Chain A
Amino acid sequence: MAANGAKPWAIPAGIYAHIPFCVSKCAYCDFLSFGKDTAADAQERYAAALCRELKTARESFLRGVAIDTVYIGGGTPTALPAPFLLEITGEIHQFNLTEGAEFTVECNPGTVDGAYLRRLKDSGANRLSVGLQAAQNSFLKILRRAHTAEDFFNVYEAARSAGFGNINVDIMFALPGAGFDGGASAGAYQTKADWLETLNAVVKRSPEHISAYSLTLEEGTPLYGRVERGELTLPGDEADREMYALCKEVLSAAGYAHYEISNYARRGYESRHNTRYWKRTPYFGFGLGAHSFDGKARWRNTHDLSKYIGNNLSHEESRTGKGVNEEVAKEEFTPEKFKREDYETLSEKDAMAETLFLGLRLMEGVSRRGFERVFNVPLEDVYGAEIRKLVSQGLLCESGGNIRLTELGMDLANQVFVRFL
């Protein structure tokens, strides 16, 4: 029994650890990450604070809880010097990890070499997620990725050599280019031919998992500004959907199962950690701005780096805890007192809506029986009218007691999801 009275979860939970550092910020990224401009010792102090947070949780509300997925994401986790990252993986290994737990680390080409990857593998990471985005350096430049396509291929080979038998590759379509409506030449926006080239380059290397996202322009990012100002042109929605269709075709022909709107995997290699998000099984986020869900409530950590690191502590103090009253330090990191912001206990209605709009992202869809088991009320009673309307609009279909998105429904998923709010 944990000190705060919480019971260990009956089912295994996931751990997410966030590393908010990057070599440089990508042009489309609006996520919480810091470039080179942060204080020299910020990374070291951050790693120490993260370890302390993990430790505190492990010794309190997560004591004894089985963990079957771990995901270290960012930012770019491998932007941290290897010793800091290994300190974190080491800390995570102190948890009650289940046999064969999935342990993913995100990395970007240009941040790691063979030695780094071998040390990572030896530290227990068994899945690597590598960002390629596009096979053409012209697009990588527009996206302000800090690497070339060649860097990616080298890292990929190095990861295999290091023994990673489960690799995900991130790629993106509907990328903008500088202007005219033309063919595959550099400067134009991404064409189907460009996209096919990217797909083939990835398929040729045969990763176990592929995430293929349509680029989302987030307000406030440099890329958004350039498109707004007319310096860059996006392919239209029509082209976007053609690329999406092409992706499904090429990857399914290559033996990948399309298991989530944007994710493809060889059988048995679906991302178990990401599936938690869609299936609403518990996960606990550590590090700056990390999100948690315990099955009933959602919350997140502070977005304030200095608050997170604890500016009042010197590195030596924060690392060792020396000079700090142990009780105070512990209190400071008590989830309730320190890290939980935007804490929201979900109502039954919220939980039902989530079950639909998250579950429908999975191609297997939402099971009527599963829904009834969780909520003790038939899916029909809650959403019958909405489901019938969406089926009549060709956005949903049903088979084997599961409600699923149709092909059209995948293109217009939000139109479906809002009906369940």
Chain B
Amino acid sequence: MNTQDQERMSRIRNFCIIAHIDHGKSTLADRLIEKSGVLTSREMQEQVLDNRERERERGITITAQAVRLIHRDGESGKEYTLNLIDTPGHVDFTYEVSRSLAACEGAVLVVDAAQGVEAQTLANVYLALDNNLEVFPVINKIDLIAANPDNAKKEIEDIIGLDTENAPLISAKNDINIGDVFKRVIEGIPAPAGDADAPLKALIFDSVYDAYKGVIVFIRVIDGKIRRGTNAFFMATEKQFDVVEAGFFGPGKFIPCEELSAGDVGYITASIKNVRDTRIGDTVTEFERKTANPFPGYKKINPMVYCGVFPADGAKYNDLRDALEKLQLNDASLQFEPETSTALGYGFRCGFLGLLHLEIIEERLEREYNLDLITTAPSVIYKVFLTDGSMIDLSNPTDLPEVTRIEHMEEPIVKAEIILPTEYIGTVMELCQERRGVYLGMEYLESARAILRYEIPLNEIIYDFFDTLKSRSRGYASLDYDLIGYQASDLVKLDILVHHEPVDALSFIVFSGTAQERGRKIAEKLKKEIPRHQFEIPIQAVIGSKVIARETLGALRKDVLAKCYGGDITRKKKLLEKQKEGKKRMRQIGVVEVPQQAFMNVLKLGEE
């Protein structure tokens, strides 16, 4: 390798920022971008990394993106290229995080001076350490009244075991000590190793679909060089493409360049039509001169949570399909296939990485594609072992075979880590027990906080666990979980009958021990959601032919407007129109009209 390449590589730092939601990752990223002199404040687009509307609102970043910063060191006058690779901050995207981390040499751990270390932070720091990253902590929000930097440092040392002696104390929001962060990045994070003359070896850490350029593949070059015309070979998918363009990530835009070489972070395009050909974790090499040491290859990410997604207006079915197809272009982990429901009509069974992923997709469909949706109860994938020795993966409760054909069923189990103030240990342990959790252990992190470990069935987690955890701990507990395997369990299918008609959209698989309680709650809730009709309506929860809960909605006895004062007919008409509007948003279940909202509301049982 020539000295020019060596000099170039010595001035590159590839790093990411690890932070819990709200601890200030995006704000710090903005500040670094602004300070790097690439953009003036005026040009600075707020929250550059979080450029999607919905991510901004939640304050979290969904998919990895990257930005190249040009930083001139004040002391040496040297110009450094800093590649900041953003990582998703949520448990649903663990694999994507690990690949982003693999593209870096170091990580900045941002900890809120008032909040301390949280469960997801911990999980991501461990991921970073597993990837041999140099991690250094930064204490943010030091200007808050509630800030306790010493305590935050102590937690970092006690819980994670990182040295905090040189940790910058900053306020990203108010621009305090940001220079220290640059200094630590340059001094504390190693320059990339690698050989620019060796055969091409680059890691795919993300990709996005662009209508003009095709798939834009985000890569970190480890060895060798890649440029326009390179005959690239994706080793896991075994696809071959001629590179059309190579470039860097400017803040908010792509900057084409001559070539990317060892140590660089950038993108390539190659008229790739399908995002599925560019798997995160795959190795890009040259077809004629392949690297001998590819990455382990991509891990196929399977959806963990499924639910039915239906257009509120049946005529929008095609719009929904188009929207899902478009979203899938950028999100290979989103799966969907057509589904028909007697209650909800035509829609799609969709698979998601987790509940957050589900919510994100749902919100994007509603906002970006202006669709009004009805989603059914989320379901995990059960393994159903049949008496004939075969096994099926069940993601839709309505597909459950006859009970007589089932030998046994298994459900996914996760290992959950909950970090919480010690005063909530009792109530949270109670919650975990209620949700069939198996206690694994507990450690005190410092005097006031602890980490609880449980094995819990995933189907309990997706049933309102997170909201309940938050409400019982007044928002202080944080949760992280990992799928650890499947386990045989006594599961039953709970059906809901409205006026003796089964409502397929409300069927779900539940642990037999909690079926009655669950059935009773749903029946009670449904009773409140369905308007009275001219006749009495029984609402039943059943397992097979056995009724385990029943509510009776009495007949409508009175629905008449009283007097009309002084000839105010307009007001009367408005009231009737409002009533009629309500009728439009009804779904017909046999002879009963059920408001669309009811399908979602009964599933949000919550703690009332």
Contact = CB atoms under 8 A, between A and B. Distances in A.
Q: Do A and B bind each other?
A: yes
Interface of A: 16, 18, 31, 71, 73, 211, 213-216, 236-238, 240-241, 261-262, 276-277, 283, 285, 290-293, 298, 300, 342, 344, 350, 353-354, 357-358, 393-394, 408, 410-415, 417-418, 421
A410 B567 CA distance: 20
B558 interface: yes
Given A262-B562, A413-B559, A293 B579 contact: no
A394 B568 CA distance: 29
B559 A414 contact: yes
B576 A216 contact: no
Interface string B576-608: 110110010000000000000000000000000
Given A261-B560, A411-B560, A283 B579 contact: no
Contacts of A292: 567
B487 interface: no
B560 A344 contact: no
A420 to B, nearest CB: 9
Contacts of B558: 214, 237, 240-241, 411-412
B567 A411 contact: no
9 contacts: A215-B562, A216-B563, A261-B560, A277-B569, A283-B567, A292-B567, A342-B570, A357-B576, A421-B580
A417 B574 CA distance: 12
A66 B221 CA distance: 93
B534 A412 contact: yes
B582 to A, nearest CB: 9
Given A291-B569, A298-B570, A414-B579, A262 B563 contact: yes
Contacts of B534: 393-394, 408, 412, 415
A412 B559 contact: yes
B566 A18 contact: yes
B573 interface: yes
Contacts, number: 93
A412 B579 CA distance: 13
Interface residues of B, number: 23
B564 A412 contact: no
A194 B567 CA distance: 31
Given A411-B557, A414-B576, A418-B576, A277 B562 contact: no
B52 to A, nearest CB: 39
Contacts of A283: 567
A215 B576 CA distance: 18
A31 B583 CA distance: 28
Contacts of A237: 556-558
Contact of A285 (B560, B567, B579, B583): B567
Given A73-B566, A213-B562, A300-B568, 12 more contacts: A16-B566, A283-B567, A285-B567, A344-B570, A354-B573, A412-B534, A412-B556, A414-B579, A415-B556, A415-B559, A418-B579, A418-B583
B560 A277 contact: no
Contacts of B577: 421
A408 B534 CA distance: 9
A71 B564 CA distance: 14
B146 interface: no
B292 interface: no
B212 interface: no
Contacts of A240: 557-558
A298 to B, nearest CB: 6
Contacts of B572: 357
A355 to B, nearest CB: 11
B1 interface: no
